[in-house]
Amino acid sequence: MVEVKTGLVLRSYQIFKTIKNFGSYTSNEIGGLLSLFAKEQDHTLRSFLDERHDGAGLKFLQEILGGHIVEAVEAKEKGKKVVMIPFNFPPEVVNLFENAVPYTTEVVTTIGVNALAHQGEPYWDYAVSLGLPDFVCSANTIALGSVLLSKDGNEFSPDIMISAAPGGCDANSKIHEFVSEYLGIPEIILDKTGESSRDFELYRRLFRQMFLRLEKELGEADEDRMIKTLEK
């Protein structure tokens, strides 16, 4: 079995915590900073911190990419629930609950591949070494392969998983199911339906059932918070 010591999220978290402390910078300072990083990280950070972006790249790293991981890790440390969701599920639904934060599989894979040396290969290899086939989607497998490390305490782990890809992305849904079973994490499944009016009505019923299950896990959603979230 492939041995990996530390998970993608925990490694990325430390990097983005450092980036959040960056202030304004000169080209010389960028050069000095990037000399501390591995080649893969150098290429990624250099593209974001290029002076032609006029600071927008740094803001994107700090508030968008970094924010996704930092918020999830620190929310869990404060006792909130972290809900792992796939690419096709609206994170706003999780934001309706005051004690929960969303955490998207494919976003985490992208962040890790950009932030870490050696990209996502160790986590891919680890997942495959557990028996997952090597032809499944790497966008799911890298992040979820890393989550599997949490069984030994080497990675951050979500508290709940929502699987909204059955019928839409079989690889995504089956990998989520594997992780749920392997780690004993509650999984809420939302099936994809067809495209007729009857299918839409069925999807509304399934979505409502999913939401009621979320409320059982997270507590009742606050109506005022719901309005503010939707207005954003």
Q: What is the pLDDT of residues 113-151, one digit of tens each?
A: 776 766 688 888 888 888 888 888 888 888 888 898 888
- Domain count within the chain: 1
Question: 221: which DSSP letter?
Answer: P
Q: What is the pTM of this model?
A: 0.82
Q: Cα separation of 35 and 58, whole Å?
A: 17
Note the pLDDT tens digit of each residue in 97-107: 989 999 888 88
Sign of CA dihedral 57, 88, 153, 5: negative
Whether residue 172 lies inside any domain: the answer is yes
Q: Kindly list the distances between the CA atom of residue 229 and the CA atoms of 222, 224, 232, in Å, as whole numbers in the listed order.
A: 10, 9, 5
Whether residue 51 lies inside any domain: the answer is yes
In this prediction, residue 135 carries a pLDDT of 84
Indicate the average pLDDT of the chain.
Answer: 83
Q: Cα separation of 6 and 11, whole Å?
A: 7
Query: Does residue 81 sit in helix, strand or coil?
Result: strand
pLDDT above 70: percentage of residues in the chain: 88
Whether residue 176 lies inside any domain: the answer is yes
Listed residue (114, 110, 106, 108) closest to 37, CA to CA: 114
Domain range for 164 is 8-231
CATH at residue 93: 3.40.50.11890
